[in-house]
Structure 1
Amino acid sequence: MASEDFHDINMALLDPVAPLLHKLLAGEPLSAEELLLLQEWQERSSDNKALLDRLEMSAAVQDMLKKWYAIEKNREEKKLLGMHRVHQLTPPIHTRVHFLRRRFVRYAAAGLLLLGTGAYLWTLRQHREPSLAHASSAETIAPGRDGAVLTLADGSRVVLDSMGNGVIANQQGVPVSLQNGQLAYGPISSSGEEMVYNTISTPRGRQFKVLLPDGSKVWLNAASALRYPTAFTGKDRRVTLEGEAYFEIAKNAAMPFKVAVGNTTEVEVLGTSFNINSYKNESTIKTTLLEGVVRLHAYQQSQTLKPGQQVSITPSKEKMEPAHEADPEQVMAWKNGLFKFDDASLPEVMRELERWYDIEVTYAKGIPPIRFGGEINKQNTLQDVLQILEESNVHFKLEQGRKLVVMP
């Protein structure tokens, strides 16, 4: 069967087995039940059997990926060329670049992309040399991963990146354990009057999940820190955040959950899920409510959010903006493994790359005012992401020491 013949396959037939085909391509083991389902699907038609045979041939898969990548790249280049011609006729004040989420595989085996794994199979399954002309001498920079540093009450630090499952510390009678990449706190085994605090921090290039003593869940983005007590007592549950985190709060109306951000902002919670972005190198603190109710307090002002709303606070102006509707997919993109930009400036994009790839970005003179829109999978190498961004009127030079120079 030629590669082109995959265009004629009835994609509806792939729906039940698309997750299994994805696991097959990713090299993950299938259960007995999954193997049986795949066998039944294979026997339904000769096309199904031929497709499965092709997917098990690595050379054939790579050939398909290359051809579909070329098709997609050609489509995007034509789109960008058309946009360029429009800009020539009506020069804009700012250049806006929209890129598609890379879907190098479109049919058959790539039906997996329809599941949202995207997975950038081309990137994950085949090694590619750095594509940037100026980056050939630099080491390929891998994406971030799970990992964090736990600072205990006595000031000692535990690096969680490579630790195995099990109890890693005991804080005032509270066992602290690591289970499958998640930090969790057990019940108090002995009484103690003193409230002690732990801090979980993620350096650049890391993210992590914490299960707090009350059962609340917190996902920390890169370059973030959360300070919290090892046991919640008293009238409320208080934590302090630096950076960005997504919270799913265990309900307890008698003990409100409160997040302190900086010295002036407090988010009061009553059983809900929400996201806070409070990086110091961003001009605003953004709180976005996904579910439930939160109340913000800052600069003698208060606002109550409804699901889907976002409030921005500008510390330099000591101002809280009125609540407005937000794009939940964009807000949660970092947690879902994506960079998602909506009319984002070049510095905004670069700050995200700095945090995720642990790089230092500098700018040459003469950079045009460019804005970006679109999605990119965060599991790409830095070089692959830069290649996508270079479809705009900007270029990059990656130097030794994880330094990235942005050039016109």
Structure 2
Amino acid sequence: MAKEDFPIINTELLDPVAPLLQKLLIGETLSGEEIALLEAWKNRSEENKVLFERLEEPAAVQEMLKTWHGIEKNRELNKQRAMNRISELVSTPSPAVHQVHFLRRRPFRYAAAVLLLLSAGTYFWAVNNKGTDKPQAAAAVIIEPGREGAVLTLADGSKVVLDSLGNGVVANQSGVQVVLQNGQLAYDGASKETVFNTITTPKGRQFRLQLPDGSKVWLNAASAIKYPTAFTGRERLVELEGEAYFEVAKNASMPFKVAARDATVEVLGTSFNVNAYRNESVIRTTLLDGVVRLSAYQQSQTLKPGQQAVAKPASEQLEVVNNADLDKVMAWKNGLFNFEDASLEEVMRQLERWYDIEVTYAKGIPPIRFGGEINRQNTLQDVLQILEKSNVHFRFEESRKLVVVP
């Protein structure tokens, strides 16, 4: 384990105790030997004592770590591919690019979940006690992470804010009831005519939707999807701006199509993710299960699970990436930021969408690339404290305007 991963805490001792911390937080009983090892770690330094006390305080920490543990179990199928990508990054560093790794090694993920994702305040404490005079990202108001919520635009143009509504019928349209149940919107009934609805997630919101055919959609922040209240005819067509993950109900006689900017994705029944933000240079369609066909610029590509189609509007090209990084693609749906091999601009665009902020650069954009994952339930200030390990810093000029300072 490299010491640069966590320069403040003794990483040599963390290898054996990280799983013990995880076991303790999910309620498993430690053996006498494990308890002794944990006590030795706790008494090793003041930082360890502070961290251990933080872990004993909020019940929410336990729930967050249980969620992380569940994500970890689902990640085994992609373990080898992820390790290969990490090896490539480590073995071929660019002298002009500063690599910053948060969760670089698989055995270190439990420690990272505790030390970074749940305890950014501990890192902040350690930095400030070193007497640094570097600018700190501080704002008068703590900026909380995004949450569930959206705006529903009905066929008549009226809008319904779904953030604070309870379970029940939201609207009636042409014989179809729009029902909100446990944070997911669904449609019940047969429509007498074809009318369209739109779900829009502003910055700082994400939402779940069940389409009239039973297909499920997870909509990321700053996105929108337009769809009919009933699918009729020969196809099921929806229009997407932004990013969404789809689990499509099978219907061989009525293909499901997603129109996203310059590209159209056609499926029969499958699971896939489409990233089509207008401030991103490409449109990415990634297949997790089944078969999809993507068409753009008079070209067509059929994808197999694990492949990603990349449509490039600037050059009107369509390419296929084999062995796509599914962890990175699905991180947003799993409650994470995945910054593996991401540029500073890409990282800041993700933060803009999730925390509803505006990002500017004081002296150009530093050529920094990142690696690793951070929990999306951290406050913005906690995330920035972690990112400042890269020697790039931040300041707030207004309550929601963030300036990047090299």
TM, length-normalised to structure 1: 0.74
Specify the alignment match of 1:178 in structure 2.
180
Specify the alignment match of 1:163 in structure 2.
165
**Residue 98 in 1 paired to residue 100 in 2?**
yes
**Structure 2 CA distance for partners of 1:116 and 1:305, relative to 1, 3 Å:** farther
Specify the alignment match of 2:119 in structure 1.
122
Could you say what the CA RMSD is over the residues aligned between the two structures, in angstroms?
3.8
User: 1: CA distance between counterparts of 2:230 and 2:188?
Assistant: 9
Q: How does 1:330-341 map to 2 (within 5 A)?
A: 330-341=328-339
**Structure 2 CA distance for partners of 1:101 and 1:320, relative to 1, 3 Å:** same
Q: How does 1:347-386 map to 2 (within 5 A)?
A: 347-386=345-384
User: 2: CA distance between counterparts of 1:370 and 1:10?
Assistant: 32
Q: CA deviation at 1:342?
A: 2.2
Structure 2 gaps of 5+ residues are 1-12, 39-47, 56-89, 129-133
User: 1: CA distance between counterparts of 2:285 and 2:318?
Assistant: 11
Specify the alignment match of 1:248 in structure 2.
247
Q: Which amino acid aligns with 1:300?
A: Q
1:99–1:388 contact (8 Å) kept in structure 2: no
User: 2: CA distance between counterparts of 1:8 and 1:226?
Assistant: 45
User: 1: CA distance between counterparts of 2:141 and 2:368?
Assistant: 27
- Determine helix, strand or coil for the equivalent of 2:302: strand
User: 1: CA distance between counterparts of 2:135 and 2:216?
Assistant: 43
**Structure 2 CA distance for partners of 1:148 and 1:67, relative to 1, 3 Å:** closer
Specify the alignment match of 1:228 in structure 2.
227
User: 1: CA distance between counterparts of 2:393 and 2:112?
Assistant: 33
Structure 1 gaps of 5+ residues are 1-5, 25-37, 52-60, 69-86
Q: CA deviation at 1:117?
A: 9.1
Q: CA deviation at 1:202?
A: 0.4
Specify the alignment match of 2:144 in structure 1.
142
**Structure 2 CA distance for partners of 1:11 and 1:315, relative to 1, 3 Å:** closer
Q: CA deviation at 1:8?
A: 12
User: 1: CA distance between counterparts of 2:93 and 2:274?
Assistant: 37
- Determine helix, strand or coil for the equivalent of 1:390: helix
User: 1: CA distance between counterparts of 2:381 and 2:15?
Assistant: 34
Q: Alignment length, in residue pairs?
A: 346
TM, length-normalised to structure 2: 0.74
2:277 corresponds, among 279, 285, 289, to 279
Q: Which amino acid aligns with 2:404?
A: V
- Determine helix, strand or coil for the equivalent of 1:353: helix
User: 2: CA distance between counterparts of 1:62 and 1:179?
Assistant: 43
Query: After superposition, what is the alpha-carbon deviation per residue over 1:129-183, rounded to whole angstroms, capped at 9, x for unaligned?
Result: x988444453111111111111111111111111101111112111111111111
- Determine helix, strand or coil for the equivalent of 1:330: helix
User: 2: CA distance between counterparts of 1:114 and 1:292?
Assistant: 35
2:344–2:366 contact (8 Å) kept in structure 1: no
**Structure 2 CA distance for partners of 1:197 and 1:118, relative to 1, 3 Å:** farther
Q: Which amino acid aligns with 1:357?
A: Y
Q: Which amino acid aligns with 1:146?
A: E
Q: CA deviation at 1:252?
A: 0.8
Q: CA deviation at 1:364?
A: 1.3
User: 2: CA distance between counterparts of 1:161 and 1:379?
Assistant: 17
